Structure 1
Amino acid sequence: MTAARIFCVRDFGAIGDGLALDTAAINAAIEAAERAGGGRVVLPAGRYLSFSIRLRSRITLELGEGAVLEAADPARHDGQYDAPEPNAHDAYQDFGHSHWHNSLIWGEGVHDVALIGPGMIQGLGLTREGPGAPWSRDHVGDRPLSMGPAEVLSAAALTAEQAAMSGQGNKAVALKNARNVVIRDLTVLKGGHFAFLLTGVDGLLMDGLRIDTDRDGIDLDCVRDARLSNLRVNTPNDDAIVLKTSFALGERRSTERIRITGCRVSGFDMGTMLDGTCGRTQDLSPDLDRVTGRIKLGTESNGDFRDIEIADCLFERSRGVAIETVDGGVIEDIIVRDIVMREVTTAPIFLRLGDRRRGPEGTTVGAMRRITIRNLVATGIDPRYAATLAGLPAHPIEDVGLSDIHLTYGGGGTATDAGRTVPELPHAYPEPSMFGVSPAHGLFARHVRGLTLENVVFATETPDARPDIMLDDVD
């Protein structure tokens, strides 16, 4: 970003008292900066109540020290969020993934933009809800098995659910088809369905963020050339940092060349990461498995994932790392290294190649290959779920290397657990709990070609009658 003029929102009529709506003033400042060829739009100290803010190219939106941008509530305040724009390609991902304009801050087709702190976004008026995907299959795989079968809505009921979202905001920040984006040094409390939904973004830097929210933290969907560093993300109800390749842009597009380094993810009670208390009263996520808060690739996986590194990260009271392709995408050349996990609420490592195929006609089974995980230490692991690598009989996971790994489980597994027959469930939503209690306490691998273990240690805090490792159709 080049040196640019400063546009203070108070000069455009913003009050910043938390009572008056400042939407028009903030958007007027952005429009003035755009007419000037770019600029820095500043929210100084104060509380700014707002509906949708529309980003423009060559704009830096700065929340200064002591500035709070509060998402207005259409049930209490006089206004609405921008309507969710039409999307002819909304069949294969849920409502939240398919629309961007219904957000507190949104931009489409913008370039050279920045959102910077040190101020805060409070999404108090956002909703975390939204309709599911209206795809035409039997809806097996729409949600985790732990929640029971999905309800198949009639066309009229789905239309009513979508209409009910009009006027509501369900994301704090959403960008579509953007280039050269910087997001840094912000704090986000309660970000709606997604604190950040970034779709089709090329060239992204996210650094120094603190996010404490009630659903997803950061979703990178069909994003290329991104660096995420020094992030603290707490999401007990959903994923903290998740990479996806949905069909929301109407084409199969990859997520590639992504570096995630020096980040901390967790599943403490919502809001308690920011206040420092790190509460543990919530035990289950909405899917009825234990709290989430992890880093994941998938579940939306129509496009490919390649050249991705997750390094020097800490997982606290969260699920482990998950790498999943179930909608036809290829996952390849992934490195996970130098990871510490404490109090792991499901499997510490979960690789799944499945056959949901939630995509256009002709979608085929994907592939997963060349996955390297090294220098990973995990303690306090839920003993029900071993590290799991699960391909399909005709579509094995290929070339997985596990090295310098030490996993400590709670123990307590029985001989009955060891004798379980694990179902294949090719079409199911991928979660470690989908297979039930693991028949091994350390590693369960099935349908894998080219598996290497070097200096891998499995330990238990109490005796466990299951074997360390169980392999089924593994070379």
Structure 2
Amino acid sequence: MSNNNTRRTFIKQAGMGLLALPAASLAVNMPVTNHASNAPVLAQVKKLVLNIRDFGAVGDGQTKDMQAIQQTIDRCSVLGGGIVLVPAGNYLTGAIQLRSLVTLNLEKDAVIIGSPDLKDYAVMQVRWEGKWIQGYSGLIYAVGAKSIAIQGAGKIMGSTVVGGRPTADNPLRRPALIEPIDCTGVEFSGFSTEYRVMWSIHLTYCNAVTIKNLHIRSTGGNGDGIDVDSCENVTIDGCDIATGDDCISLKSGRGMEGYTLLRTTQNVHISNCTFADSIFACIGIGSETSGGIRNVTIENCKFTAAKTFALYMKSNVGRGAFVENISVNNIEVTGMEGGLLRFNLSGSGLQDQVPVPGLEGIPTTKNFSFTNIKVTDVPVLVDGVGVHPSKPLDGFTLSNISGTCKKGISLANIKNAKISGINVKGYTGPLLSTYNVTGNGLESAAALPQPKTPDMIPVPATPYQLK
């Protein structure tokens, strides 16, 4: 038999084999011929759906199902993508990696439970407090993936045993619950999470992210709800978040490493959410801001509890970069132990081992707007004195604020301020106190003593090199 005939026979047999595959396996679009025009078109093929039970998952809460879950995800991805179905059951697992074009669908009463054994988590480069270090991966993580999703009415629970902070005995960063890194096209919707002493959702270097209708519970220590870390084009909508640390934290790196990489967190839209915090703030912007933060909109949200402030803007001398174009509109604030809003833009957070030196190391801040806000019994309306005089905040709007507070507004080192429509009751002392502030609506302001200012970072003898 000739080589050509052998090849034809093989192709024919291979084709017959494909016809024998289940229809659900054909997850890719297959070209067919449009005989009217003799041009190829794409046939509509049913999306692939693979059930983790069919690959050996038990779901009894005792058997470790990570191999079965990972095999299902991997096969779904290599077959062109689709849905990995997690039916009702309790699935104990170590770290699992989400792949491109895969949606993890958690059915009602499906619970993914994180292993208490750190050996079940991958060790890799992860972000911790604005620096890339060695650490354990998230319980569910992805690296460089495209078009990934977790959806459904199920639940993801982390083990309290593996939470916590790096220590001298174990310097590896502890696992986050869900952690996509350098991913494009990310969607999380509908499910609930439970974790503590570590972050629930940590997005790093991601683009085009949608987070909708999540129920996040993370209390007892450094348990942020959602960390947006050097990401862009992020939408967070309709979420109910109660945490031990920031409900949502926006950050972009720390010190010369973050400043050199310059991966900005930008174009973030947060809406229709409810926040409660028991240790720090509801929404924190910073303090790791060395890659810059810009274009953030927060609207139509309820802030129901915070140990400090509903909104906390924080950075430090030595961060460099910028925080700009921050807009907050139509929010309700109750249950605050600190107040509505605080700026600490020149002395917050850990100083980096290699900070950004000189005037360049003082963050540039501009265009902060807070409008149409209702407050109930907040101890402080605005603590806005933590701005470095070498780089005043350029553009600050505070308007249409109503409700009750115990203390008014203190501002320092701001230009182009616009204060209007402050209709609050119950406060003692002056409603507005300022130092080195220019703009409109300041006519009745009381004088504020000059705030203390941290020194700039000296320029080192040896220039920084990224390594």
The 1:353/1:231 distance shift into structure 2, 3 A limit, reads same
Q: Of Structure 1 and Structure 2, which has the larger fraction of its residues in strand?
A: 2
Cα deviation 1:26-70 (Å, max 9, x = unaligned):
001011112201121111000000010111111111111110011
Q: Distance in 1 between matches of 2:392 and 2:311?
A: 20
User: Would you say the 8 A contact 1:353–1:367 is kept in 2?
Assistant: no
1:83 shift after superposition: 3.5
Higher mean Cα deviation, 10-19 or 299-308? 299-308
2:165 counterpart of 1:113: no
Among all aligned residue pairs of Structure 1 and Structure 2, give the percentage whose two residues are the same amino acid: 23
Partner of 1:246: 253
User: Would you say the 8 A contact 1:307–1:333 is kept in 2?
Assistant: yes
2:390 counterpart of 1:402: no
Partner of 2:292: 304
User: Would you say the 8 A contact 1:126–1:170 is kept in 2?
Assistant: no
Match of 1:459 among 425, 433, 437: 425
Where does the alignment leave 5 or more consecutive residues of structure 2 unmatched? 1-26, 29-45, 439-467
1:320 shift after superposition: 1.3
TM-score by length of 2: 0.76
2:72 counterpart of 1:65: no
1:406 shift after superposition: 1.9
2:161 counterpart of 1:195: no
Partner of 2:158: 123
Equivalent runs, 1:53-452 vs 2, <5 Å: 53-74=96-117, 80-86=119-125, 93=130, 98=133, 101-125=136-160, 127-131=162-166, 158=168, 160-162=169-171, 169-190=174-195, 192-214=197-219, 215-235=223-243, 237-247=244-254, 251-267=261-277, 291-318=279-306, 319-326=309-316, 327-354=319-346, 358=352, 360=354, 362-363=356-357, 364-382=361-379, 386-409=382-405, 411=406, 441-452=407-418
Q: Distance in 2 between matches of 1:123 and 1:307?
A: 32
Say which structure, 1 or 2, has more relative contact order (CA 8 Å, 6+ apart): 1
Cα deviation 1:89-124 (Å, max 9, x = unaligned):
87x636xx7467522101111111001121001113
Q: CA RMSD in A?
A: 2.4
Q: Distance in 1 between matches of 2:162 and 2:92?
A: 16
User: Would you say the 8 A contact 2:297–2:326 is kept in 1?
Assistant: yes
User: Would you say the 8 A contact 1:18–1:49 is kept in 2?
Assistant: yes
- The 3-state SS of whatever aligns with 1:310 is strand
1:442 shift after superposition: 0.3
Cα deviation 1:63-91 (Å, max 9, x = unaligned):
111100111111xxxx723243146x87x
Which residue identity does 1:348 align to in structure 2? L
Partner of 1:44: 87
User: Would you say the 8 A contact 2:143–2:183 is kept in 1?
Assistant: yes
- The 3-state SS of whatever aligns with 1:162 is coil
Partner of 1:473: 436
Q: Distance in 2 between matches of 1:234 and 1:468?
A: 31
Where does the alignment leave 5 or more consecutive residues of structure 1 unmatched? 132-156, 268-284, 286-290, 412-440
1:325 shift after superposition: 3.0
Q: Distance in 2 between matches of 1:114 and 1:23?
A: 18
Q: Distance in 1 between matches of 2:397 and 2:96?
A: 46
1:130 shift after superposition: 1.5
User: Would you say the 8 A contact 1:101–1:174 is kept in 2?
Assistant: no
Higher mean Cα deviation, 178-187 or 321-330? 321-330
Q: Distance in 2 between matches of 1:349 and 1:306?
A: 18
- The 3-state SS of whatever aligns with 2:108 is coil
Q: Distance in 2 between matches of 1:64 and 1:47?
A: 11
TM-score by length of 1: 0.75
Q: Distance in 2 between matches of 1:230 and 1:359?
A: 38
User: Would you say the 8 A contact 1:126–1:192 is kept in 2?
Assistant: no
- The 3-state SS of whatever aligns with 1:322 is strand
User: Would you say the 8 A contact 2:136–2:175 is kept in 1?
Assistant: no
